[in-house]
Amino acid sequence: MPAKRRAAPASLALSLLLLAPLTAIAPPATAATPSSVTDGGVPLESINTTTTQVAFGLRRPTAIATPDDGTDRLLITEKRGTVRVYHPDTGLEQTPIIDITSSVDESGNERGLLGIALPPDFAESQDLYLAYTALPDGAVTLGRYSLDEAELEPLLSQEHAEHSNHNGGQITFGTDGNLYMSIGDGGGSGDPFDSGQRVDTLLGKILRVDVSRSCGDLAYCVPEDNPFVGVAGAREEIWMYGGRNPWRFSVDPADGSMWIADVGQGRWEEINHVKPGRQAGANLGWSCYEGLEVFDADQCRSGAAYTKPVFTYSPYTGSCAVIGGQVYHGEEFADLVGGTYIATDYCSSIVWAVREDGAGGYSVAEIGQMPTQVTAFGATTEGELYVVNDLPGGLHRVSFERAEPTCRIGYTTQVWGGGMTVDLTITNTGSTPINGWTLRFSMARGQSVISDWNTDLTQGGDFVTAVNAGHNGSIAPGQSVTMGYLASHTGDASLPTRFSLNRDACAVVRR
């Protein structure tokens, strides 16, 4: 399960070697624009996500895999240690195809059977790979399972006994044929083991191994081009480091790039997009950074290059844990979301669409809601998306439709020295009246609201929630209301780029 917020435990002293490649510092910066156009020419704000439940009765599902064997099956892992089969014609089979409950430690909310991956030769070998926390002490384990023999063979294990959370558990095969696996930072709060920036441990990492063969005493091989091969004191399996709990990541089959959703400590959820050529040895920042902000300056080192997330969001609006998805490559909705990365949040269920804007940045929009408590995405061999949700435990087919924004935001601003005023015009572009509204948006870092007008505005971190005043709560179709705020700034006077009104994404018009 994705990590929840937890109170900080007592610090655990650990003094071990810190190793990292030294390069120039790459200071974090935001990179989102207010509108995105897909390959079909449709702005992201004009897209809505819908879901259809196709299976019931799953017990805390955690991951989805699709065999490329012509069967059209989906394999769905359950936390307790079972794998169920779903077929679109016959539904969900009641008897698990795999049962490793005798090997799985499912104590705590986040332990259990966490991931599944099918190798390129699955149709012939009938071998697949599972990530799970193993009995008796919750060690995060990668195992090979033979369907023909009904046997589980542990391949790799990382001790994880002190805390039950932050296990990671995503596994997938890359376009290079190697297996990639995420492991969280060891749990607790605030990276108590300083795992993120250490490379002598597999905690807080994304690994890359070759499971098609064995090398010496290892049941797998370490690719020779892994970044820490031959580095004294380092674990050679490491591909990237600086993760907190990358519960879900994916490899885009179109270009081999990696989309990594890392669950935050409490202020920022983040999504990273790391392209081929920049992956080996990439430092995702934790626990020097949480999102784009310094979290623990003691973990920051001069000369270290940190990979900046392409999108961050605050959990202050009811979110709690980013659930990474996949880039859509199906045919049915290619004109709407072709080449677009889709993700959600475990608590708020907001659907995020993220896409490169063609100008070196990324465009982001909220495009609807998922079912409650989604834990994982999966895709058919044709590229169509499914999700599973934790409780009550279902499988849902994901669809997209064109739906023009029902709100439009226009704004004017005045900027001086260390201050700025922003006037916002909210227009109801829908066909029904709006009776009571809540506008949500993010401000640039260093901006702080001093006063507001025509609204009841609150700021949490860099996130703003503005509720209608008593006199302007109703907006008839085609009509507008105005509101605004006075803010201080520390040099960045940029304006908000994304707005949602009553959870619907708004079009943005600059004046």
Count other Cβ atoms within 10 Å, centred on residue 490. Answer: 11
| pLDDT value at 189 more than 60 | yes
Comparing 98-107, 290-299, 495-504, the range with the smallest average pLDDT is 495-504
Per DSSP bridges, beta strands 61-65 and 74-78 are antiparallel
Give the mean pLDDT of the chain. Answer: 91
What is the rounded average pLDDT of the residues 506-510? 85
Across 112-116, average pLDDT: 98
143 pLDDT more than 70: yes
Say what the pLDDT of residue 12 is. Answer: 27
- Could you state, in order of their start, the residue ranges of all structural domains in the chain? 36-402, 407-510
Confidence of residue 444 (pLDDT cuts 50, 70, 90): confident
Residue 141 corresponds to which tokens in the numbers above? 């384990």
Lowest mean pLDDT among 18-27, 308-317, 375-384, 393-402: 18-27
Closest CA to 319 of 353, 358, 351, 361: 351
Neighbours of 511 (CB within 10 A): 8
The whole-number average pLDDT for the span 287-307 is 96
What are the structure tokens assigned to 245, written together? 């709990």
Report the pLDDT value the prediction gives residue 26, as an integer from 0 to 100: 40
Reply yes or no on whether the pLDDT at 37 is more than 80. Answer: no
- Strands (DSSP E) along 348-502, which ranges? 350-356, 362-369, 374-379, 385-389, 394-402, 407-416, 419-428, 434-435, 438-442, 448-453, 455-460, 463-468, 474-475, 480-488, 499-501
**pLDDT confidence bin for 29, thresholds 50/70/90:** very low
Distance of CA 65 to the CA centre of its chain: 18
Q: What is the mean pLDDT of residues 184-213?
A: 97
CA neighbor of 52 nearest in space, from 324, 504, 394, 404: 394
Q: What is the SS3 assignment for 69-127?
A: CCCCCEEEEECCCEEEEEECCCEECCCCCEECHHHECCCCCCCCEEEEECCCCHHHHCE
**Whether the predicted pLDDT of 32 surpasses 60:** no
pLDDT in tens, 214-267: 999 999 999 999 999 999 999 999 999 999 999 999 999 999 999 999 999 988
Judged against a pLDDT cut of 50, whether residue 7 lies above it is answered with no
- For range 494-503, the mean pLDDT: 89
Lookup: tokens for 81: 């240690």
Q: What is the pLDDT of residue 314?
A: 85
Residue 243 per-residue DSSP state: -
Alpha helices of 297-384 — where are they, by DSSP H? 334-337
Pick the CATH number of 36-402 from 3.40.50.180, 3.40.50.720, 3.90.1150.60, 2.120.10.30: 2.120.10.30
Q: What is the pTM of this model?
A: 0.89
pLDDT band at 38 (very low <50, low <70, confident <90, very high): low
Distance in angstroms (rounded) separating the CA atoms of residues 367 and 123: 36
State yes or no: cis peptide before 392, omega within 30 of 0.
Answer: yes
Q: Which pLDDT value is given to residue 28?
A: 36
Q: How confident is the model at residue 39 (pLDDT cuts 50, 70, 90)?
A: low
The hierarchical CATH code for the domain 407-510 is: 2.60.40.290
Please state, in angstroms and as integers, the Cα–Cα distance from residue 212 to each residue in 102, 128, 145, 340, 373, following that order: 26, 11, 13, 31, 35
State residue 511's pLDDT score. 53
pLDDT attached to residue 272: 98
Name the nearest CA neighbour of 270 among 27, 7, 30.
Answer: 30
CA distance 241 to 202: 9
Q: What is the mean pLDDT of residues 474-496?
A: 96
pLDDT of residue 505: 87
For residue 25, pLDDT over 70 is answered with no
| Average pLDDT over every residue of 272-286 | 98
Range with lowest mean pLDDT among 21-25, 109-113, 193-197, 265-269: 21-25
Percentage of the chain lying above the pLDDT 70 cut = 92
CB-based contacts of 470, cutoff 8 Å, min separation 6: none
Which has the minimum average pLDDT: 26-35, 160-169, 203-212, 443-452?
26-35
- Whether residue 321 has pLDDT greater than 90: yes
